[in-house]
Amino acid sequence: MVTRGENRVKAFGVSNRNGSEPHDGTAKIESDRKRKKASLSTSAKEIRKKKGKMSSSNGQGGEVRASHVLIKHEGSRRKASWKDPEGQVIKNTTRDTAVSQLKAFREDIIAGKATFEDIAARFSDCSSAKRGGDLGPFGRGQMQKPFEEATFALKVGEISDIVDTDSGVHIIKRTK
């Protein structure tokens, strides 16, 4: 004999009378879950696709990808870096010295004497130096304003002039 409680359990598709097998409703619930999950996955893919289309060649929307060389100086917000943990060199570097270094690096890169990635790996005060300066993709509002504006203004492959931020001075190469 089936009790009223067992009927309620069956109605919700949890178990049959002996509790060993799922009720037919379970298969329907699983099917619904898979359908909804697939629908959500498709929606997420569509959003990423549309977001990518919003990004124009000059990067006015969507995401960009960039690499940079950062030289910190005495006026930088944090006077330590991955390669100068105590900040001894940074504390003794003027902004003008940092700018001169970056200008020389930029000229060497443009003249083909060095690659951007090599300069970043050897001289950048940012931990991204370990990746040749690559910051990965980012959108608006994720970087300091002067850095963001300079990056979004560049065309892919272009290298910026000197960019000042609270972190120090940079040259930026837009890669995507």
What is the rounded CA–CA span in Å between residue 116 and residue 134? 10
- Asked if residues 162 and 69 have their Cβ atoms less than 8 Å apart, the reply is no
List Cβ neighbours of 117 (8 Å cut-off, separation of 6 or more). 67, 132, 133, 134
The catalytic site residues sit at 68, 126, 144, 167, 170
CA atoms within 13 A on the CB side of 68: 30
Question: Taking the domains of the chain in order of start, what are their residue ranges?
Answer: 4-54, 63-174
Q: What is the pLDDT of residues 53-62, one digit of tens each?
A: 444 444 456 9
Q: What is the pLDDT of residues 33-43, one digit of tens each?
A: 565 555 544 44
pLDDT above 70 as % of the chain: 65
Q: Spelled out in words, what is the top-level CATH class assigned to the domain 63-174?
A: alpha beta
Instruction: Calculate the alpha carbon distances from 148 to 29, 35, 137, 142, 160 in Å.
Output: 47, 40, 12, 8, 12
Token code pair at residue 89 = 């060199």
